Structure 1
Amino acid sequence: MTMGPGLLFLVFLLGLVAAPPTLAQDDSRYTKFLTQHHDAKPKGRDDRYCESMMKRRGLTSPCKDVNTFIHGNKGTIKTICGANGSPYRENLRISKSPFQVTTCKHTGGSPRPPCRYRASAGFKHVVIACENGLPVHFDESFFSL
């Protein structure tokens, strides 16, 4: 039994339609990572920075306890999933070089807005999870010595 050109074309189209959701799902985890943890050029790195960034990025309903922003370009952060990262614990990568970061910690009180945050800034090695060569989860960070 042979397939005609029309049926082959239909099978080809179905294959194209089925592939993008998988790719889109991978990209959505990377996009969420960037939204929560990337800020290439911060304007100040104090408590006000944390309060405005946490609100702007949708991390204040309820108030997120701790969040770290990595200050570097996306390409450099991606390299942690490759040459600029080393295996760390189960399925994680630690950066070989430190990144400038700001960690925002909720100062307590109600978990409902308005949220108040305390900023701590420094250079740290970051630990992330990667999928398909892209960062998808921020795990923790360590001050460089």
Structure 2
Amino acid sequence: MAMSLAPLLLVFMLGLVSIPPTLAQDDSRFTKFLTQHYDARPTGRDDRYCERMMRRRELTRPCKAVNTFIHSTKDSIKAICGANGEPYRGNLRISKSPFQVTTCTHNGGSPRPPCRYRASSGSRDIVVGCEDGLPVHFDESFVHL
């Protein structure tokens, strides 16, 4: 009897080993999203904030043209992919409630550091791309409210 369970045990163990990398891959896309777009407690929301955050988040090699930071909790951002979001063009979802954001726009000039940014802040609905219930893409083209 024990011999006949060995193949099943092997298949079960192989299944367990193969699941974490898949989950880790999903989490890595969400982690990258958070690195690029999440700042729960901003200190100032002016041009210096943008220049500091863009450098700190390694978005200046080359200078990224536009980047938006969302000032909220991770759970409320995740909720856009669920109860606090509605379908919006393809796999995108739009938030049902506004978020505080700061958008950093490169002032032009050289795409190499030092990068200079102009900040614009406000409250707006945001559009994200979701995979497996997690935001993995911020849609930069959505107009401020």
TM-score w.r.t. the length of structure 2 is: 0.93
What's the counterpart of residue 87 of structure 1?
Answer: 87
In the alignment, structure 1 segments of 5+ residues that lack a partner are none
Tell me the amino acid that sits aligned with residue 22 of structure 1: T
Shift of 1:8: 2.5
For residues 101-121 of structure 1, give each alpha carbon's deviation from its aligned partner in whole angstroms, at most 9, with x where no partner exists: 000000011111111100000
CA distance in 1, matches of 2:33, 2:131: 12
Higher strand share: 1
* Alignment CA distance shift 1:45-1:18 (3 Å): same
Matched, 1:108 2:108: yes
Shift of 1:6: 3.0
Tell me the amino acid that sits aligned with residue 134 of structure 2: L
What's the counterpart of residue 39 of structure 1?
Answer: 39
What's the counterpart of residue 24 of structure 2?
Answer: 24
Shift of 1:3: 5.7
What's the counterpart of residue 76 of structure 1?
Answer: 76
Give the percent of matched residue pairs that are identical in Structure 1 and Structure 2. 73
Shift of 1:9: 2.2
For residues 13-70 of structure 1, give each alpha carbon's deviation from its aligned partner in whole angstroms, at most 9, with x where no partner exists: 1111111111111101000000000000000000000000000001001100000000
For residues 74-133 of structure 1, give each alpha carbon's deviation from its aligned partner in whole angstroms, at most 9, with x where no partner exists: 011111111111111111001111100000000011111111100000001100001111
Map residues 61-72 of structure 1 onto 2, 5 A cutoff. 61-72=61-72
Matched, 1:137 2:141: no
CA distance in 2, matches of 1:3, 1:130: 45
Q: How many residues align?
A: 143
In the alignment, structure 2 segments of 5+ residues that lack a partner are none
3-state secondary structure, aligned to 2:139: strand
CA distance in 2, matches of 1:48, 1:3: 67
TM-score w.r.t. the length of structure 1 is: 0.93
